């Protein structure tokens, strides 16, 4: 298999939280669990992050030792299995584990993370590029890490949907001090050829980030995105020629 360029690997590693229970997939729980186990055994497992589950179904799930879970909760959940690593809530504060808060960035306190909704089942659920650029700039300036959820099914920006490559490259530039106009232009760029992943750097239209800068932005800032499909993003990346 051809070696994946270091900046592309840094951008994609542990990027996708598998959320097959949620729309538009809306799969039954047994299928979701079976899929997650299969994805962990696949050649693309290095791109897979946590399994997204609501707290209500946790008693029904036999967690495998190598599974990693992010749990959607309404409040403090109490004791949890070791496989549950993070929590997600609409509250603006950290709970007993690392917590992603789907709340206005200015209200998130302490050492909590942010959660941004980047799409949904209707067009109205998708934030504008301007709103997303504002979020990335605000989160970067406050040094608040985030995850995204909903809508990022494809790598590249299209007429109606944000692309996950756009969002996470824009986040990396934001983390390293790019101005709002650059962040916005990255978010709006639907040309895959404008994103070059070379031996030691990511280049986008005359600007560049070292592979180590991409890796640092992912580790410290732009953590992951939830997707109801794992195979669809992988297939799209392969169609672009970015994966073997």
pLDDT tens for the chain, 244 residues long, are 358 999 999 999 999 999 999 998 999 999 999 999 999 999 999 999 999 999 999 999 999 999 999 999 999 999 999 999 999 999 999 999 999 999 999 999 889 999 999 987 677 789 999 999 999 999 999 999 999 999 898 999 998 899 999 999 999 999 999 999 999 999 999 999 999 999 999 999 999 999 999 999 999 999 999 999 999 999 999 999 999 7
Q: Give the per-residue pLDDT at 1.
A: 39
* Predicted structure pTM score: 0.96
With 0-12 / 13-18 / 19 or more C-beta atoms within 10 angstroms meaning exposed / middle / buried, residue 182 is middle
- The residues, ordered by sequence, that sit 6+ positions from 192 with a Cβ below 8 Å of its Cβ are 155, 156, 165, 240
Q: Give the per-residue pLDDT at 121.
A: 67
Q: Give the per-residue pLDDT at 174.
A: 98
Q: Which of 127, 209, 200 is nearest to 170 (CA)?
A: 209
Q: Give the per-residue pLDDT at 197.
A: 97
Structure tokens at 228: 């109801």
């Amino acid at each position: 298999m051809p070696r994946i360029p270091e900046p592309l690997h840094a951008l994609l590693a542990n990027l996708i939280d598998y959320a097959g229970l949620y729309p538009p997939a809306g799969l039954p729980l047994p299928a979701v669990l079976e899929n997650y186990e299969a994805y962990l055994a696949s050649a693309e497992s290095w791109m897979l992050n946590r399994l997204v589950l609501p707290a209500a179904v946790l008693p029904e799930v036999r967690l495998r030792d190598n599974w990693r879970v992010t749990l959607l909760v309404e409040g403090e959940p109490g004791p949890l299995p070791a496989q549950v690593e993070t929590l997600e809530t609409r509250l603006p504060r950290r709970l007993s584990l690392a917590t992603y808060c789907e709340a206005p960035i200015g209200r998130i306190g302490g050492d909590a993370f942010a959660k941004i909704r980047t799409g949904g089942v209707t067009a109205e659920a998708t934030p504008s590029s301007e709103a997303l650029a504002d979020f990335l700039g605000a989160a970067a300036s406050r040094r608040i890490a985030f995850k995204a959820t909903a809508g990022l099914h494809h790598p590249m920006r299209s007429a109606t949907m944000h692309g996950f490559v756009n969002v996470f490259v824009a986040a990396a530039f934001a983390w390293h001090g790019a101005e709002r106009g650059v962040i916005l232009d990255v978010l709006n760029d639907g040309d895959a050829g404008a994103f070059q992943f070379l031996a030691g750097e990511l280049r986008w239209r005359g600007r560049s980030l070292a592979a180590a800068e991409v890796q640092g932005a992912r580790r410290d800032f732009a953590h992951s995105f939830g997707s109801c499909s794992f195979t669809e993003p992988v297939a799209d990346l392969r169609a672009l020629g970015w994966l073997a």
